[in-house]
A = this chain, B = another copy of it.
Amino acid sequence: MSGADYRGGAAFVDGAFVPAADARIPLLDTGFTRSDATYDVVGVWGGGFFRLEDHLDRFERGCRELRLTLPLSRDQIREVLLELVRRAGLRDAYVEMICTRGVDTEGVRDPRRFVNRFYAFAIPFVWLLPPEQRESGMRAVITRTVQRISPGAVDPTVKNFHWGDLTRGLYEAFDRDARYPILLDAAGNVTEGAGYNVFALVEGRLLTPVAGALEGITRRTILELAAAEGIPAEAVELPADVFRRGTELFATTTAGGVMPITELDGEPVGAGGVGPVTARLRERYWELHSDPRYTTPVAHAAAARAPGA
């Protein structure tokens, strides 16, 4: 610990803990220069990780798909993540783990020979929709200038840093006096936004895109909660014009949970404000954060810290 200030967040790089703001990776890591990496983000809420094992499952699957070999075991990764939150002293945190292909130390341009790397950090919880806007909701647009990278090129179910399309969407949203882009695929079906899945309540059915998007853990939680609440919900091919007919729209993400979309392309959604289905699912979503079946308390592992450390 030795006096390092972790209050702005903690990071884990090359086997050592450092303040997040000081954390640095090699300029020549192909995780940067080729975006050859996968990652995952877990939320910590009220001192507990939410669905940590599901995030670890997805992260490990992503590594397998990209043929990356994690230098740490799953138990070691879990312990690093818990330790990051402890060091940062955070009750609510945004925790990210990353595996990169690593550096071409031999100059052979053969990624099979690089030593893969693991990085992680925990920072104060990131609200994709600021809390003061939780009732006014998201001003979203369906982008016209950019489409989502196709799964035939980059698999969106392997969480990745290929955000060029999403960033273009973000700038288009800004240009159109909005903040949250939603991208279509080449066929005109809705995919996802810049860090969030989307849902539409259409004629009483809750619909979310079945392809072209990350299979979000929050998305999955909402599908499970909808089933439990008796709301018909389904992952489908979702053309933009069907999505537009939604009487309620919302987005889901670890960085904020269920976020009502109250404006789309400059028009109010449905009756305006936060719809009853959205509100109910949001409430149930946060309730789950105190359900021990879904949470991994950070304090739990504190006993592992040596006295005086």
B150 touches A153 (CB 8 A): yes
A51 to chain B, nearest CB (A): 21
Chain B residues in 8 Å Cβ range of A174: 112
Asked whether A33 is an interface residue with its Cβ less than 8 Å from the other chain, the reply is: yes
Chain B residues in 8 Å Cβ range of A154: 149, 162, 164-165, 168
Chain B residues in 8 Å Cβ range of A109: 126, 128
Q: Could you say which of A26, A153, A162 has the most chain B C-beta atoms within 10 Å of its C-beta?
A: A153
Chain B residues in 8 Å Cβ range of A24: 24-27
Asked whether A36 is an interface residue with its Cβ less than 8 Å from the other chain, the reply is: yes
Chain B residues in 8 Å Cβ range of A36: 163-164, 167
Chain B residues in 8 Å Cβ range of A163: 34-36
A164 touches B27 (CB 8 A): no
Asked whether A93 is an interface residue with its Cβ less than 8 Å from the other chain, the reply is: no
A153 touches B148 (CB 8 A): yes
Chain B residues in 8 Å Cβ range of A80: none
A292 to B281, CA, bound (A): 68
Count of A interface residues, CB-CB < 8 Å:
54
B28 touches A32 (CB 8 A): no
Contact with B along A20-32 (1 / 0, CB 8 A): 1101111110011
Asked whether A152 is an interface residue with its Cβ less than 8 Å from the other chain, the reply is: yes
Residue of B nearest to A120 (CB): B27
Asked whether A121 is an interface residue with its Cβ less than 8 Å from the other chain, the reply is: yes
A153 touches B165 (CB 8 A): yes
B161 touches A34 (CB 8 A): yes
Asked whether A147 is an interface residue with its Cβ less than 8 Å from the other chain, the reply is: yes
Q: Could you say which of A35, A150, A168 has the most chain B C-beta atoms within 10 Å of its C-beta?
A: A35
Chain B residues in 8 Å Cβ range of A39: 33
Chain B residues in 8 Å Cβ range of A35: 35, 161-164
Chain B residues in 8 Å Cβ range of A123: 107
Asked whether A170 is an interface residue with its Cβ less than 8 Å from the other chain, the reply is: yes
